[in-house]
Structure 1
Amino acid sequence: MPDSLARDDRWTPPLSAGRVKPADVGENDVLPMLLGMARCIERSDEDGAFVAFVDLLDRIQSCGMDLRMKTQCFAQALLKNIDWKTGHGTLHGALFESHADRFPPMELAAGVAGTILEGLLERREDAVLVDVGIGNGGRVAGLLRSLAGRGTLPRSLTVVGIDPAEGALAEAEATLSSLASGLGLPFRFRAVPSRVESLTAAQWDGLRPIGSRIFVNAVFSLHHVGGNGTRDAVLRNLKSLKPEALVIAEPSADFESEDLLLRLAHAWRYYGACFSILDRMDISQEERTMARMFFGPEIVDVLGMPADLRGERFDTVPRWLSRLRDAGFRPHADLCRTAARPAEGILETTLGADHVGFGFEGQVMSAAICVR
């Protein structure tokens, strides 16, 4: 292929030129598609590169194994540019946002956590919500809309957003402030630009007087806190806020172990179950491909990263419950009266004194936990 093609501004990614039938894709067709991805990356079009990547994987499904592996290696290498330019884990974070609302173990655990939190916050006076890993505030916005729809908004609300991404915090503040104003809800937002495990003693002390009715929410965020001692210290610090409730949602697997063989065995079972769940879901091939993209970086993190750099440090539900008990938390009486909707079709639901679990073929995949 002439070098001029790679720099031809008139040349567009293959998505805009119509689909290529999988059977028609050969060695000479792949480079133009990779160049389309590269051009998106060069102009900082993260969404375009992502869509082109998904489309490329879809098109090579019927190709020979050698060409598929070669193409995937080059395409995944190109995508590393996105995380490098826009912040480590950006692509994975974007995939999480689109994936969590549809993949049953995540959807159900997060949904039950939200239902629990709604019941706790409704019509409260001077409620304070401490959200660990708030991101851009999308989940809290959904919570407020749901409460407003039922006419059960708290009388006033302060949201403390803890997140290392300052841009996301700014977006969360703008989104939630605007929404609260439209709903007539007295509202304050306090941004804490930090990882929760990096908060200093002075910062924790500064959070304690913020209100007497504190509720803590942590949806799929605490497993990123690394190291047993660090994780337990965070739970003790959260307990020191004397919250009326701590609501968390987490996957269930033992990725915290330093034993590679144990992590491999747990990863094989957990992600094997994830792939089986995907195969049973009524979704398009493109959505299935996107979901597998989400799991890929996680598996690399679990099995291929040094201990101090791993981010996907899942714990089992029994170990989470043990950690919470050791930190001084006890089951919350309101859990049993929440609408823990049974899983439909794919997952089984179990209700404990302090958690709602979701399983697949006898294996616990995720849980929503409520303690005080």
Structure 2
Amino acid sequence: MPHALTEVDKALLNDIYYESLEDLDDPEAMFTYTLAKAMRKHLMVGQSEEHIYLQRFEITQIRLFELLIQQFPLANLSQHCINTLLIDALVNHTNPVLMDIGIGTGFQVSNMIEGLKNKSANQIKCLTIIGIEPFADALRLTEENIRRASKNASFEVKLIIKEAFIEQMTQGELSQMLPAENDGIYVNASFALHHIQQMSQRKAVFEILKNLNVKAFVLSEPNSNHFEPSYPKRFQNCINHYGVLFQIIDTLPINTTEKAALKLFFSREIDDVLGNTEKVRVEKHFATEQWVQLFEETGFLLQKRVASFEYLELNGTNIKTDLPDRYATEFEGEEITSLFWAN
């Protein structure tokens, strides 16, 4: 492990790093590169030579986003599952509230609005969307995307956005954002809450949401313990989780450059998991049982909401529907992301 490496070990790590760079078209070399790069980051400052070796894998951000949503099954299936559950619930209200934690550019919420527009048995008169997002650059697109999705809807859509980290908001601040007239509050957090660094902060957020008397708190998260402070244990968890992700990418019907670009996208997360110090790490994923424990400790009851999905499989990965208290995405028998519905 980095803190125990001798000078000879460090030289060997550098050799592994540069050797893998010479053969990045090989899937195993690419994974070796991402791990070695992260460990070198843990040891030293600056790797300015990287862009020279990786230029051939550069693709546009738009294309990368398309690949993640359309081809990468974990993102696609997770969103499809959660959107189906929320759409089925929201249509039974006249003035529902959808609070989206980590709303980003509003892509997922826009898809939900499109789904609601296509529902024949829809009682909604006014849908209030409360979007919480810490990054201003993303929020610049949120309003435009949601306005576009809301066009020609048979119901009114009101958008309230807040540039903030959810763990820095109080119950009072969240309550003030809620409309006086509403008949159901639903909270969605997709791949956002693992960025909360401290356990006490995570528990506080869950407790605040419970006190808001939400109809449902819907959570999507990867199933891997990168919250683990022990570097050796976290290293093994990282290899297991991202190793499977890289396997999934290798099965996708896309070209080798696009596969490499997707892997480099996830290499940023590996950099954080293995390369950054404990004080600054933000990719602090929980394993499924850790989220379950947090739900229980804060008074939430996990519920398996019944739904009929348009599709259950994409590119070798499927939505697992036979779990007693949640849904999940599964690849070769392994639960990759966990999808919770709690009230």
TM-score calculated relative to the size of structure 2: 0.77
Q: Deviations over 1:335-360 (max 9, x none)?
A: 12343843356235243233112222
In structure 1, how many angstroms separate the alpha carbons of the residues matched to 2:293 and 2:66?
Answer: 29
Aligned to 1:139: 108
| 1:261 to 2:232 alignment | yes
Amino acid at match of 2:113: L
Residues 77, 312 of structure 1: CA spacing in aligned structure 2 closer, same or farther, 3 A cutoff? Answer: farther
Greater shift, 220-229 or 162-171, is seen at 162-171
Residues 93, 236 of structure 1: CA spacing in aligned structure 2 closer, same or farther, 3 A cutoff? Answer: farther
| 1:99 to 2:68 alignment | yes
Contact 1:134 1:163 in 2 (8 A): yes
Per residue, is there more helix in 1 or in 2?
1
In structure 1, how many angstroms separate the alpha carbons of the residues matched to 2:156 and 2:143?
Answer: 14
Q: Deviations over 1:215-252 (max 9, x none)?
A: 11111111111121111111111111111111121111
Aligned to 2:99: 130
| 1:298 to 2:269 alignment | yes
Return structure 1 stretches of 4+ with deviation > 6 angstroms: 57-60, 91-94
Contact 2:295 2:302 in 1 (8 A): no
Greater shift, 194-203 or 235-244, is seen at 194-203
Greater shift, 295-304 or 362-371, is seen at 362-371
Contact 1:330 1:371 in 2 (8 A): yes
In structure 1, how many angstroms separate the alpha carbons of the residues matched to 2:62 and 2:189?
Answer: 16
In structure 1, how many angstroms separate the alpha carbons of the residues matched to 2:192 and 2:96?
Answer: 22
| 1:331 to 2:306 alignment | no
Aligned to 2:184: 213
In structure 2, how many angstroms separate the alpha carbons of the residues matched to 1:304 and 1:178?
Answer: 40
Quote how far apart the aligned CAs of 1:162 are: 0.3
Aligned to 2:139: 169
| 1:308 to 2:279 alignment | yes
Between the two structures, name the one with larger relative contact order (CA 8 Å, sep ≥ 6): 2
Q: How many residues align?
A: 298
Residues 342, 77 of structure 1: CA spacing in aligned structure 2 closer, same or farther, 3 A cutoff? Answer: same
Amino acid at match of 1:299: I
In structure 1, how many angstroms separate the alpha carbons of the residues matched to 2:52 and 2:133?
Answer: 28
Amino acid at match of 2:334: Q
**Which structure 1 segments of 5+ residues have no match?**
1-56, 80-90
Quote how far apart the aligned CAs of 1:95 are: 4.9
Amino acid at match of 1:363: E
Aligned to 1:197: 167
Identity %: 26
Contact 1:354 1:371 in 2 (8 A): no
Aligned to 2:38: none
| 1:360 to 2:322 alignment | no
| 1:249 to 2:201 alignment | no
| 1:273 to 2:248 alignment | no
Q: Please give the secondary structure, in 1, of the residue aligned with 2:285.
A: coil
Amino acid at match of 1:74: E
In structure 1, how many angstroms separate the alpha carbons of the residues matched to 2:240 and 2:207?
Answer: 31
| 1:74 to 2:49 alignment | yes
Quote how far apart the aligned CAs of 1:76 are: 3.5
Contact 2:83 2:112 in 1 (8 A): yes
Quote how far apart the aligned CAs of 1:138 are: 1.2
Greater C-alpha Rg = 1
Residues 308, 145 of structure 1: CA spacing in aligned structure 2 closer, same or farther, 3 A cutoff? Answer: same
Contact 1:214 1:243 in 2 (8 A): yes
Give the one of 110, 114, 131 matched to 2:83: 114
